[in-house]
Amino acid sequence: MLSYILRRLLYAVPILIGVNLLTFALFFVVNTPDDMARLQLGAKHVTPEAIDRWKVEHGYDKPLLLNERAPGSARFTDTIFFRHSAAMFAFRFGKGDDGRDIGNEIRTRMGPSLAIALPVLLIGVLVNVTFALLMVFFRATYLDLWGVVVCVVLMSISGLFYIIAGQYFIAKLWNLLPISGFAGGIDGFRFILLPVLVSVVAGIGSGARWYRTIFLEEIGKDYVRTARAKGLSEVRVLFRHVLKNGMIPILTGVVVLLPLLFMGSLITESFFGIPGLGSYTIDAIQAQDFAVVRAMVFLGSFLYIVGLILTDISYSWVDPRVRLR
């Protein structure tokens, strides 16, 4: 298995280079370093000298991909792409345009992102699986029918609506929880309750329907019929046998998400004032801070790859037939 993991990690290197190159190309197709300097320096009293100084200060005074004036390998290394990209493979992200260390920001913001994303994932999976199993238990009855209708209704509503409605009713009208904000330690609990609740409710529709489909597929298989023939109760059949065998597709969806939890949620964090990585990314895109955007895309890609590897490993754990070589 170790050689499999190492091989997969090595495969990740060209993928990450490709992602980096693509981000770089997309960003600089619409922005020149001069544009970035002007945006950062503001609208007043911006001179060409000030723009040049900003570019030097932030390392954007070199050619983008190819330095024709440089000798030898420096033609490729003495460029904006190489200078800003090579260090990332050692997870040194440099500084944002506001001068703050990106690595430090990521470390600081990971906690708040996880504080929301982890409970949302765990509670969400628990609620969705339970709801789905109940629908399967009552399949082909009015309870199943109305359960699906509720799921479709929940799926059809925009995520933003849940946030606004949650804030309006729970925080503003009923004064039950703070409308937004964040705090460390035990005091932070009351700040995360509302975003977690809203995110879980927003995810029930799609999650429960998906799991219902998985369980319905399982429930028609021979081993389920055998279990029933043995005289096992329906609850036992569902929770002991169907749930266990339905874990493989559930793991596919969940394990791949685990590393990405660090990246936070863009909209939720912004609306609830959570100082996580989601809002960091949104801010960087709005401010055209290439250093941060590139770092976050790189980190996102890396974590996605890690998530895929973890998914493969988890397959071998839950299904003895799967062997990684």
Partner 1 sequence: MTRIGTILFRAGLLAIGLALLTACSDNWNNPYPRSEARANVAYSAFSERPKHLDPARSYSSNEAEFIGQIYEPPLQYHFLKRPYTLIPLTADAVPKPRYLDASGRPLPDDAPSSAIAESVYEIHIRPGIRYQPHPAFARDAAGRYLYHSLDSAAMAGKTQLADFKHTGTRELVAADYVYEIKRLANPRLSSPILGLMSEHIVGLKALGDTLEKAVKAHPDAALNLNDFPFAGAEAVDRYTYRIRIKGKYPQFIYWLAMPFFAPVPWEADVFYAQPGMADRNLTLDWQPVGTGPFYLSENNPNRRMVLKRNPYFHGEIYPVDGDAADRRAGLLADAGKPLPFIDEAVFSLEKETIPYWSKFLQGYYDSAGISSDSFDQAIQFSAGGTPRLTKSMRDKDIHLVTTVAASIWYVGFNMLDPVVGGLSEDRRKLRQAISIAFDYDEFISIFLNGRGIPAQGPIPPGLFGYVDGVAGLNPYVYEAHDGKIVRHPIEMAKKLLAEAGYPNGRDARTGAPLVLYFDTMASGPDAKSRLDWMKKQLDKLNIQLVVRGTDYNRFQDKMRRGNAQLFEWGWNADYPDPENFFFLLYGPNKKVANGGENAANYDNPEFNRLFERMKDMDNGPERQRVIDAMLEIVRRDAPWIFAYYPKSFGLTQGWVHNVKPNLMANNTLKYRRIDPALRATRRAEWNRPVRWPIALLAGGLLVAVAPAVIAWRRRERKAA
Among 28, 60, 81, 137, binds partner 1 (CB under 8 A): 137
The pair of three-digit structure tokens given for residue 233, joined into one six-digit string? 């109760």
> Measured from the CB of residue 230, what is the shortest distance to partner 1 in angstroms?
13
Among 77, 180, 206, 252, binds partner 1 (CB under 8 A): 180
Which residues inside 23-52 make contact with partner 1, applying CB under 8 A?
A: 30-32, 35, 38-50
Asked if 181 touches partner 1 (CB under 8 A), the answer is yes
User: Which conformational region is residue 304 in: left (phi greater than 0), alpha (psi within -120 to 50 degrees), or beta?
Assistant: alpha
Asked if 140 touches partner 1 (CB under 8 A), the answer is no
Asked if 138 touches partner 1 (CB under 8 A), the answer is yes
Q: Exposure string (b/e) for 125-164, b if CB count within 10 Å is 16 or more?
A: bebbbebbbbbbbeeeeeebeebeebbeebeeeeeeebbe
Contact 223, 259 (CB under 8 A): no
Phi, psi angles (nearest 5°) of residue 233: -70, 160
Asked if 239 touches partner 1 (CB under 8 A), the answer is yes
> Measured from the CB of residue 2, what is the shortest distance to partner 1 in angstroms?
30
> Measured from the CB of residue 181, what is the shortest distance to partner 1 in angstroms?
4
Contact 307, 59 (CB under 8 A): no
Return d(Cα 61, Cα 229) in angstroms, integer.
75
Question: Could you tell me how many residues of this chain bind partner 1 (CB under 8 A)?
Answer: 76
Choice between 64 and 324, CB closer to partner 1: 64
Choice between 12 and 250, CB closer to partner 1: 250
**The residue type at 73:** S
Asked if 172 touches partner 1 (CB under 8 A), the answer is yes
Asked if 244 touches partner 1 (CB under 8 A), the answer is no
Which residues inside 59-98 make contact with partner 1, applying CB under 8 A?
A: 95, 97-98
Contact 152, 256 (CB under 8 A): no
Single out the segment in contact with partner 1 by CB under 8 A; choices: 11-19, 65-73, 184-192, 219-227.
184-192
- Torsion angle (degrees, nearest 10) of CA 65, 70, 71, 73: -30
